[in-house]
Structure 1
Amino acid sequence: MTPVLRWLSRRFTEGRLVIRFDDGQECTIGSGPRAARLRFNDRATLHWVLRDPQMRFPEAYVEGHWEPEDDLLSVLEVAMRNSSHLLSRRTRALRVLRARLGELNSAVSAKRNIQHHYDIDTPVYRLFLDQDLHYSCAYFEQPELSLEAAQQAKCALIARKLDLRPGAHVLDIGCGWGSNALYLAHHFDVEVTGVTLSENQCAIARERAEAAGLADRVHFRLEDYRQTQGPFDAIVSIGMFEHVGRPQYPVFFQRVHELLTDDGVALLHTIGSRHPPDQGSPWIRKYIFPGGQIPAASEIMSPLEKSGLWMTDLEVLRLHYARTLSHWHARFQQNRAAIAEIMGERFCRMWRFYLQASEATFRWGGLAVFQLQLARTVDRLPLTRNYLFSDTVLG
């Protein structure tokens, strides 16, 4: 075993990676009962990967330089459990600085970053999301719920947390393909305005509103939330805050405060980390979500405290996103041939890694979903959480 492999093996304390080469020889990195097996094309590629594993391990998979011998998720579990031991302080500091610069997210760069991910061909999303095109964590009230039912349950929970009143005007920041906005308009006597930076999403959301007969009560705009004019009786943002970037957190909460009526309620649904602030995955940042960042709870609280808003409720959804991603990956693989026909094989390998690495991070890497309920006044909402619980899921 080379010095680099010995160094790495000492840092793998929560499982083993058994690596086989095309000539039949093997080496083992790490120790412990948990093991995963993979096959590398050659030793040179392995040593190239080891010089920057967080970036090059996924890059090498996408380019076909290694394959799991069992399943990809088992390899990612071992890698995820040991990944925090691999970066030097210097490398970590440089990546934090690079990440902060990438999160500045001006109006121009924010739109470009969103279009990078969301303006790929919509048929691809239809082949692995639920039928209503929810692209965020579902809510599994019961473990056996289908993906469709769990997404409806998520919408119902959010609606309860918004405590909607008849005739309310709701703002949906980062509305996607309009799924939540259409749900609220369909089930409640409210008007909804959705804003997005994705031209593709905005066009499809408008088409869906017309088809559902809701175009008179649901309006979609290609607009940066920083330019939106209010006021609104309720504000919801689902899976958008991860794109805001840390330098913009104070602006985001200040805008929510400015756009919300005095007796309004807001709900922020975002991925969050139980760990102290870090730079996140450089591979995800480069190839999947440029300009994005998963916030630590401490990074959310400081700008929120300065905004003038009350945090009236905080719920942490554990493992719900892992279940959601498992459903997405299964559907993606079932429809892989059709997706490859649209986007190519390299895209399929990249997105398979993205979906399963994300699931691994929610299972073993410290990620969860935070739902923060916000209000401008201390007495806007009931004194207990009883109003949030319901035995029914609106469908």
Structure 2
Amino acid sequence: MDVDKLFYRYVIKNLFVDPCEVKFWDGEVVIYGEGIPQFRINFNEPIAKLEVFTDPYMAFGEGYMLKKIDIVGSVQKVIESLYKNRSSFLHQKKGYKKLFEIFSNSIRESKENIQFHYDIGNDFYRLWLDETMTYSCAYFKSPEDSLLQAQRNKVAHILRKLNLQPGQTLLDIGCGWGELIIAAAKDYQSKALGITLSSEQYYKTVERIENEGLQDMVEVQLIDYRELEGRTFDRVVSVGMIEHVGKAHLNSYFSAVSSLLNENGVSLLHCITGYKELAINSWFNKYIFPGGYIPAVQELVWLMAANGFYLIDLESLREHYTRTLEHWIKNFEGSLTLAMKIKDETFIRMWRLYLNSCAASFHSGNIDLHQFLFTKGVNNNWPLTRINMYS
């Protein structure tokens, strides 16, 4: 038996918690674990042993992208099986680096990082997002909710949490393709401003505002939140944006929100979270979210208090994000014929791995999704119960 196969047989033996089948490059098939195999891994060629030991996430991630590895069965199931095996060598944090200590995430770098992920083409995102082009965790009131309904639920849930009143002003930091600011104007008669660093999101949002005839109520700017000056708002919301800020700039973010809020104003932060300081997977940093950082819950709460905010509500939507991602994966796989016309196979495999990895991470509890609601100063006029959030 060759050395590469001996190495892989040893590594795979302790890699998954579920029984699985592995087919090696020479055609040999080996079953690991007891019971019916839950999935099959095909090694079309060996990956260098040094790469696996040095950075397994990069080695296996690139191996899948480049078809050195194929998966028969659910990609999400394979990754969950990896994550659940706490004794695996992967949990020794190989392939993780504290990249958040290296990246400065200056205004220029932040714009480049955002454009790297979000400016890959509205046509691509349109293939698998819902009709509103909402690219964040949805809110499922019922298991039967469609993705479109769940995304509309999410926007409504956020605006109700903010207790938005007619005539109040709203700032959306990282407004995506504009669904929330448009809903705020149409449903609450709020004057809303959205800001983004993505050119494709900006131009699409401008188009949507014009099509809705909301130019007097809604505006969008292609600008960094640190560059917005001379304006304050009754409400500030940020959905899926702070993950791009970087650890070094988290305090600056909350300081900026404080300066942008009117006294007794209210802010909602919707973001991916961890329960401890999370180092960054090098594959994700290189191919998906350069400069990203997932903050810990306690880190965010501490920074809110340090900047004079009062936390009034905290809600986890972790399994809502699992369900959201599963909808995206289904749509993604159902649109492959069209996707292959605008993206190459390596890109398609990269995004399949990304979406399934995220679904596995939320479902296994590696990461979470929280909504934080907080006020600038003491707001004694706030509703005493949560009735307004669910009515």
- Counterparts in 2 of 1:287-326, with a 5 A limit? 287-326=287-326
Q: CA deviation at 1:26?
A: 3.0
Q: Does residue 343 in structure 1 map to residue 347 in structure 2?
A: no
What is the CA-CA distance between 1:332 and the residue it aligns to?
A: 1.1
Deviations 1:344-369 (A, max 9, x none): 22211111111111111111142221
Secondary structure of the 1:384 match is coil
Alpha-carbon contact 2:99-2:280 (below 8 Å) kept: no
The answer to whether the Cα contact below 8 Å between 2:232 and 2:262 also exists between their aligned partners in 1 is: yes
Q: State the distance in 1 between where 2:250 and 2:280 align.
A: 17
Q: Is the 8 A contact 2:56 2:94 kept in 1?
A: no
Measured after TM superposition, the shift of residue 304 of structure 1 is 1.6
Shift of 1:46: 6.8
Whole-Å Cα distance in 2 between the matches of residues 82 and 30 of structure 1?
A: 13
Aligned in 2, Cα 1:365/1:132: closer, same or farther, shift over 3 Å?
Answer: same
Partner of 2:172: 172
Distance 2:220 2:242 in 1: 19
> Once the 2 structures are TM-superposed, how far is the Cα of residue 87 of structure 1 from its aligned partner?
4.7
2:63 aligned with 1:60: yes
Say if 1:13 and 1:356 are closer, same or farther in 2 by CA, change over 3 A.
closer
SS of equivalent residue, structure 1 residue 340: helix
| Equivalence map 1:1-395=2 (5 Å) | 2=6, 5-6=9-10, 9-10=13-14, 12=15, 14-27=17-30, 35-42=38-45, 44-45=46-47, 47=49, 50-51=52-53, 52-82=55-85, 85-87=88-90, 91=94, 95-102=96-103, 104-229=104-229, 230-273=231-274, 275-378=275-378, 379-390=380-391
Q: Tell me the CA shift for residue 301 of structure 1.
A: 2.0
**Mapped contact 1:96–1:278 kept (Cα < 8 A):** no
- Contact 2:100–2:246 (CA<8 Å) still a contact in 1? no
- 3-state SS of paired residue (1:2): helix
Q: 1:149: how far off?
A: 0.4
Q: Is the 8 A contact 2:107 2:224 kept in 1?
A: yes
Task: Report deviation, 1:161.
Answer: 0.9
2:206 aligned partner, one-letter code: R
Out of 56-65 and 70-79, give the one that drifted further. Answer: 70-79
Query: Does the CA-based 8 Å contact 1:8-1:86 persist in structure 2?
Result: no
CA, structure 1 residues 4+25, in 2 after alignment: closer, same or farther (shift >3 Å)?
closer
Counterpart amino acid of 2:82?
A
In the alignment, the residues of structure 2 paired with residue 62 and residue 31 of structure 1 have an alpha-carbon distance, to the nearest angstrom, of 29
Aligned length: 384
Distance 1:301 1:30, change over 3 A: farther
The amino acid of 1:161's aligned partner reads K
Kindly, what percent of the aligned residue pairs are identical? 38
Deviation at 1:255, TM superposition (A): 0.9
Give how far 1:16 is off.
4.1
Does the 8 Å contact 2:16/2:82 carry over to 1? no
Distance 1:160 1:69 in 2: 43
Report the 3-state secondary structure (helix = DSSP H, G, I; strand = E; otherwise coil) of the residue aligned with 2:348: helix
Does the 8 Å contact 2:309/2:374 carry over to 1?
Answer: yes
Supply the distance in 1 between the matched residues of 2:98 and 2:195 (Cα, whole angstroms): 30
Could you tell me how far apart the structure 2 residues matched to 1:16 and 1:86 are?
18
Cα-to-partner distance string for 1:39-85 (whole Å, 9 max, x where unaligned): 1113x327466322211111111101111122322222212223774
With the length of structure 2 as denominator, give the TM-score of the two structures.
0.92
Unaligned 5+ segments in structure 2 are none
Point out the more displaced range, 251-260 or 13-22: 13-22
What do residues 272-295 of structure 1 show as CA deviations (whole Å, max 9, x unaligned)? Answer: 12x321213221111011111222
**Residues in 1 aligned to 2:342 and 2:32: alpha-carbon distance in whole angstroms:** 38
Cα–Cα, structure 1 residues 326 and 46, in superposed 2: closer, same or farther, change >3 Å? farther
CA distance in 2, matches of 1:389, 1:90: 41
- Give the alignment's Cα RMSD to 1 decimal: 2.1
Q: In structure 2, do the counterparts of structure 1 residues 86 and 172 end up closer, same or farther at CA, with 3 Å as the change threshold?
A: same
How far is 1:35 from its partner? 4.1
